[in-house]
Amino acid sequence: MCGIVGYTGKRQAYPVIIKGLKRLEYRGYDSAGVALINDGLHVFKKKGRVSDLEESVVGENIGGHTGIGHTRWATHGEPSDRNAHPHTSQSGKIAMIHNGIIENYAQIKKELTAKGYVFKSDTDTEVLLNFIDDIQQKNECTLEEALRIALRRVVGAYCLLLIHKDDPETIIAARKGSPLVIGIGKDEHFLASDASPIIEYTKEVVYVNDYEIAIVRPDELILKNLGNEKQTPFITKLDMELAAIEKGGYDHFMLKEIFEQPQTIYDCLRGRLDAVHGNIILSGMNQYAEQIMNAPRIIILACGTSWHAGLVAEYIIEELCRIPVEVEYASEFRYRNPVIHKGDVIIAISQSGETADTLVAIETAKEQGAIILGIVNVVGSSIARKSHAGAYTHAGPEIGVASTKAFTAQLAVLTMIALKIAHEKGSINNERFMHLCKELADIPEKVALVLTQAEAIKVLAEKYKDATDALYLGRGYNFPIALEGALKLKEISYIHAEGYPAAEMKHGPIALVTDTLPVVFVATKDSYHEKVVSNMQEIKARKGRVIAVITEGDTISPTLADDVIIMPPADEIVAPMLSTIPMQLLAYYIGVAKGYDVDKPRNLAKSVTVE
């Protein structure tokens, strides 16, 4: 959720923090603020975007070499100046920013109120900060020790950065459940929710683990656990370029990331898929290959768009590998008492690798003897580190809140996993395996062909931008793509949209059909095609407006559709990676046509690190 940035070193802190907040604004953008140490503690915060904060500090004293900054996605308290971070303690000596939720804040607040504390905001963050401040004053201890004592009492998730006006070169940080990365420079350190604010200055980083406290000074980084025992920082080299987090001439990050997909899918397959010789190398899974191949059951855990990738994978794995698959919302799985047997394989899918519900769900499954495979995009992320094995998607940084290239990269990895299992099990013959390897290898080139229709889809967007509702229908492998298409339209254009299996249309949704309702059919040529055409006829009989995503050479669907988008031929196993592209473009262009900020849709954040 929220984005956090910290700096201590030889540079002026404010420019570093503001630039970092702009790069993290996709994590939350309803308010922003900075705290700087410069002959005292100075805090500036403002409801709205980071640009609003910049305007508000013109003429203010924004000097100083140590500071922290925050861009907020509201959890406790509405977006407002007073609820914006950083918060200051009642003593006026400490400033703190926080990503996460403190679940037992109400009890702590009650205790502090009884002691005479008065709160200026509605946030759980201010409660925790004053709790820390109270501990420090009562025990006459260091800020580090006060934080350690407080965190033993706290229930919930957090990434915290604190500065104290009497210790002007030090930032104290802690995390549990919310990510924190520390960049290491020469006599300077950078702290952030992810690496995007850091890459401009250094490629050497340390990923802080749960229940660790970091004491950060310009020339020193100390890591300790909650038992006050020093930990050895593990320095990692960032595999990221600055250009990857810039727009590169595109109007929006979302459009840039849609058009990057031929390259990102290629990068995902490169070094792993040898279509000529029929070889798939997934070295991150080798140690558990036997257990995966003989798994009695696979459970896929994910949220949002990643859940849709899991649904596609369910079809593919069951078809090719003949292993039963269940796809679960991680947020539901973690709160019930699921039946997990030793030897079950859990595939956890997450773009960020930090999704709170997915993290807790895999911890539960791991305790019960399941093997955890992580499919994530962010190297060094929490899910990657908590998994027994897995694969990175190599999609590169995804800044647009609505996932695009991460989704197709997930599909590519999941398809490779299914093909490798099926080949080693012998559940498909070699001819089919070789054919599918070639089909998968051809996907980047075919995605590039689909993207040549962007201007035609832009025209469609103008035609349908004033719709108030939309229906997305598909069958088989394309049913999850209908769900994903509806989700994208909701996220980006705020048009109410629903995705359904096309056959389920008659069991209720057909009641919505009128001559103003756009109905998007994912109707590429596959084993379900004739049935989907019948469903299309049923919509046309009720005067619905049909947009059909079809395969080149289909002569029947165009006679039933008001508009068509044509896909190159592809095996139904890999076709979802093509048919999702028009869904992304249609949502993007409708959102733009309606005048919305498609990179930062309202109420949404990129990485959901709180429950």
Bridge partners (DSSP) of residue 42 are 36
**Interior angle at CA 463, CA 457 and CA 464, nearest 5:** 90
Whether this model's pTM surpasses 0.85:
no
Asked whether the predicted pLDDT for residue 527 surpasses 90, the reply is: no
Strand partners, 36: 42, 67
The arithmetic mean of pLDDT across residues 492-512, rounded, is: 86
pLDDT mean over 361-384:
87
Whether the pLDDT of residue 172 is over 50: the answer is yes
Residue 609: per-residue pLDDT: 47
User: What's the rounded mean pLDDT across residues 547-576?
Assistant: 93
Using the Cα atoms of residue 146, residue 147, residue 151 and residue 156 in order, give the sign of their dihedral.
Answer: positive
| Residue 456: pLDDT over 80 | yes
**pLDDT at residue 401 above 80?**
yes
Concatenating the DSSP letter of every residue in 76-120 gives SS-SSTTTSSPEE-TTSSEEEEEEEEETTHHHHHHHHHHTT---S
> 479-493 vs 304-321: helix axis angle to the nearest 10?
170
Q: Which domains does the chain have, with CATH numbers?
A: 3-242 (3.60.20.10), 247-441 (3.40.50.10490), 452-611 (3.40.50.10490)
Check residues 19 and 353 and name the one with the higher pLDDT: 19
Q: By percentage, how much of the chain surpasses pLDDT 90?
A: 64
Q: Tell me how long the chain is.
A: 611
Q: Are 176 and 152 in contact (CB under 8 A)?
A: no
Mean pLDDT of the chain: 90
Residue 608's pLDDT band, with cuts at 50, 70 and 90, is: low
Range in 106-115, 243-252, 288-297, 324-333 with the lowest mean pLDDT: 243-252
Look-up: residue for tokens 């990050």? 253
Task: Identify the band that residue 245 occupies on the pLDDT scale cut at 50, 70 and 90.
Answer: low
Which residues are within 8 A (CB) of 195 and not within 5 positions of it... i.e. 6 or more apart? 181, 183, 205, 238, 240
* pLDDT of res. 300: 95
Average pLDDT score over residue span 36-49: 93
Task: Name the residues annotated as catalytic.
Answer: 2, 606
Q: How far apart, in whole angstroms, are the C-alpha atoms of residue 588 and residue 601? A: 11
Position 464 pLDDT exceeds 60? yes
Burial call 475-491: b when 16+ CB within 10 Å, e when fewer: bbbbbbbbbbbbbbbbb
The candidate with the shortest Cα–Cα distance to 377, out of 360, 394, 401, is: 394
Residue bearing the bigger pLDDT, 28 or 57: 57
Compute the average pLDDT of residues 65-75: 88
CA 144 to mean position of chain CA atoms: 31
- Give residue 352's Cα distance to chain centre: 4
Q: What is the pLDDT of residue 511?
A: 78
Instruction: Say how far apart CA 116 and CA 170 lie, in whole Å.
Output: 29
* Nearest partner of 240 among 82, 87, 23, judged by Cα: 23
| Structure confidence at residue 7 (pLDDT) | 97
Percent helix / strand / coil, the chain, rounded to 5? 40, 25, 35
State residue 243's pLDDT score: 60
Rounded average pLDDT over 342-349: 92
Give the torsion sign (CA, 382, 384, 389, 390): positive
- pLDDT score for 605: 62
DSSP letters along 224-261, please?
A: EETTS-EE---EEE----GGGGS-TT-SSHHHHHHHTH
Cα 102 to Cα 52, 108, 522, 608, distances in angstroms: 28, 10, 43, 15
> With 70 as the cut, is the pLDDT of residue 610 above it?
no
Contact (CB, 8 A) for 408 and 265: yes
pLDDT at 412 over 90: yes
Mean pLDDT of 260-286: 93
